[in-house]
Amino acid sequence: MPWVITSLCRDCVDQACVEVCPVDCIYEYTGEDAATFPNQLYIDPEECIDCGVCEPECPWEAIFEDERVPAVFQDDIALNANIMETKDDFAVPDVTEHDKPTPEAVQANKEKWGFNE
């Protein structure tokens, strides 16, 4: 899996990454099982072409190359891959404009998930 969206996206869901993805491989969950698939975006590993244009667009700094996913987010690799099993419950979201987070909000979100760079 070339790129992974981590828990840093959870409940933030900026969608700037969706707007720049050339192959529409970034999805939102539309099903009923929010315990399995929380409110965040997901990258389909089989559709991702490893271009990397999504990563710098994410204001929450939630996207990593699979080999560089921090230890605290290792479970997110499998979580992104799991969308292939229930693909009918996912859709490429319509992009809506979001306010960009402040640097303080980004740092607070990282601390919430125990991510200390």
Domains of the chain: 3-107 (3.30.70.20)
**Contact between residue 41 and residue 9 where contact means Cβ atoms under 8 Å apart:** yes
Max Cα separation, the chain? 37
pTM: 0.94
Tokens of 69: 């996913």
Q: Which tokens hold the place of 31? A: 């099903």
Instruction: Please give the average per-residue pLDDT across 2-21, as a whole number.
Output: 96
Q: Do residues 92 and 26 lie in contact, with contact meaning Cβ atoms separated by under 8 Å?
A: yes
**Which tens digit of pLDDT belongs to each residue from 31-81?**
999 999 999 999 999 999 999 999 999 999 999 999 999 999 999 999 999
